[in-house]
Structure 1
């Protein structure tokens, strides 16, 4: 199957460290059905590609893409899931639509997600609004000791992501890495307006003075 070939290409591109993270995330199962560690240990890339295909069926590519965003391997996401040649599909998007059964709603399928990821002039303008590293660092320098609560309760990060941030010895860099995790997950939605709406939520332990400038970035 074409999707199995794509999965194998993805796994072959991962370093030993990234592959280990990939396996750990497969066990997490926060947004997908977890695969028990016993089924993953000692598997070759070929065996793991078949396991992913058999376990997730049509969702295998989508689950793989989501995990790569967390690893993170954004370069690999762009390489494998941004166009038809790498993902094993053939023909134009119009030809692929004609191949679908009439009346079948394909919204939310891997096929539609791959097509929606193709760059357009409109999407290029949206990307320009994504928060930059400098903006995230500015915010990190103003955020206090409650950053872990903000990360888990309001930015919806996982505990293991917070633990990775804590490996940094510098307090500001810990918060900066947390904000980067959020930005990498949200992709084009990681705008100043979106982050302000989250941090301005009731109960969020951060003063309005620290985040008011985010509104100015939207003007």
Structure 2
């Protein structure tokens, strides 16, 4: 018996790690009521998708999964585009048209043989001070950086202005999402050194909201 649309959506959400689930919700912020979205559980998010995207919920879910990226789930659940057909460009645009990211940009690291994200957010020594920043950490920091994110990227993080311009063009009028993509770019460059302590040191010369440094102190 074929699974219903609701069952497929719930299976998808349960297959995501907690951080991937939070990123999934983040990518839907411009399409769903933010007050309900932020506190939504996995079953509640499924209901919201069915309610707001009648007949298109699986297309929307597939577009978001491509951004994570969790292509293994698209194939496993036979979502739109799983057979190699082109994804609905309208759905892809609505969840954010950004540069594709590699497997190492998945929350928690590259997937294992079963498609599950491996936990690479802590260093092998288990020392809290050396914990790598996760996607959820980056999201929290990005939401505090404000509209001066490009100056921060060039002057504090040492990123190329042309790359930041590309991020801005891909995410017009979405400062928090631009900041998030900028921090991901920095994390890719830093690799194993992308810790809260390292980011705090990089941002120290900038005149930022004190909450940014307070948050990084806690991470």
Q: TM-score range by the shorter chain?
A: 0.3 to 0.5
Point out the structure with the larger helix share.
1
Of the two, which has the highest radius of gyration?
1
TM-score (norm 1): 0.41
TM-score (norm 2): 0.41
